């Protein structure tokens, strides 16, 4: 059973829980081609990068610099939340499905920026948004040998939950600027002094914005291979069970 997120995660300050339905139509990315009026969004400093139709006439799913939002075509209405298809006996959360696809797509773009702890007998991999100042992130990292023993490769991305002007952001820059990110990560988690020049092109801000876009609201945020996000700490055994169930479900679906 997955433990409740609010008991095992460190929340983001002043964050919004954002959701979106990604439709099956092609993405519109050029500002002049956007099918929605963005004047009011721009006034709110919300920049739209991609737009897709939803099954609801006149409502669009927008990828923005503040996350994923629903917007009316005239730009007068803006909201976030889950959209369900209730035409069958078992309601389907279309937003969750769309978000999972979006996470998979977006994570592919930053695979070369991850700090990876690879399991020798790799069976699964997970991507984790982390902050060294988060107690549950520390707990997870301390148990790294247990995850690796379960065959789980851990791929880290940076997510300073308090923003870019925090101790967490600075420590994350130290990690990503280091010649040996894993060694520096371990040293920081063990409260050792780290002397690393942070004047480098570290992708911490990029990871932070990415996390906001794909719905990260606290750390650790664990992304499974199918794009499902587990908000909060999971033991190695819990995570291995979850990954096994997901793998079996995928195999059954393929059949």
Q: Is 195 a catalytic residue?
A: no
Q: Are 106 and 146 in contact (CB under 8 A)?
A: no
Neighbours of 39 (CB within 10 A): 10
Catalytic residue among 103, 134, 155, 173: 134
Q: Is 177 a catalytic residue?
A: no
Catalytic residue among 10, 96, 103, 131: 131
**DSSP-assigned states of every residue in 15-64:** ---------SSPPB-SGGG-SS--HHHHHTT--EEEEEE-SSTTEEEEEE
What region does 227 belong to: left with phi over 0, alpha with psi -120 to 50, or beta?
left
Catalytic residue among 161, 177, 182, 195: 161
Peptide bond into 120 cis (omega under 30): no
Q: Is 137 a catalytic residue?
A: yes
Q: Are 116 and 144 in contact (CB under 8 A)?
A: no
Q: What is the largest CA-CA distance in the chain?
A: 59
- Residue 148, SS3 per DSSP: helix
Q: Are 71 and 52 in contact (CB under 8 A)?
A: no
Catalytic residue among 137, 177, 179, 195: 137
Q: Is 131 a catalytic residue?
A: yes
- Residue 68, SS3 per DSSP: strand
Residue matched to tokens 């909060």: 232
- Which secondary structure element, helix H or strand E, spans residue 169, and what is its range? helix 167-177
Calpha distance 234→84 (Å, rounded): 28
Q: Which residues are catalytic?
A: 131, 134, 137, 161
């Amino acid at each position: 059973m997955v433990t409740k997120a609010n008991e095992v995660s460190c929340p983001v300050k002043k964050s919004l829980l954002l959701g979106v339905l990604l439709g099956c139509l092609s993405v519109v990315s050029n500002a002049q081609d956007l099918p929605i009026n963005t004047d009011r969004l721009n006034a709110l400093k919300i920049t739209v990068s991609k737009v897709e139709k939803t099954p609801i006439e006149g409502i669009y799913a927008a990828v923005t610099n503040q996350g994923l939002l629903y917007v009316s075509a005239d730009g007068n209405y803006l909201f976030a939340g889950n959209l369900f298809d209730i035409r069958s006996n078992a309601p389907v959360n279309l937003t969750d499905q769309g978000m999972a696809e979006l996470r998979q797509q977006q994570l592919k773009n930053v695979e070369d920026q991850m700090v990876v702890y690879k399991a020798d007998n790799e069976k699964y991999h997970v991507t984790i948004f982390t902050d060294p100042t988060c107690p549950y992130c520390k707990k997870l990292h301390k148990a790294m040998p247990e995850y690796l023993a379960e065959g789980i490769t851990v791929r880290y991305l940076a997510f300073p939950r308090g923003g870019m002007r925090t101790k967490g952001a600075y420590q994350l820059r130290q990690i990503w600027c280091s010649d040996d990110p894993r060694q520096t990560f371990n040293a920081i988690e063990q409260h050792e002094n780290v002397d690393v020049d942070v004047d480098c092109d570290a992708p911490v801000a990029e990871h932070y914005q990415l996390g906001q876009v794909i719905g990260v609201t606290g750390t650790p945020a664990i992304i499974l291979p199918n794009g499902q996000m587990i908000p909060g700490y999971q033991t190695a055994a819990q995570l291995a069970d979850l990954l096994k169930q997901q793998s079996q479900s995928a195999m059954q679906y393929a059949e």
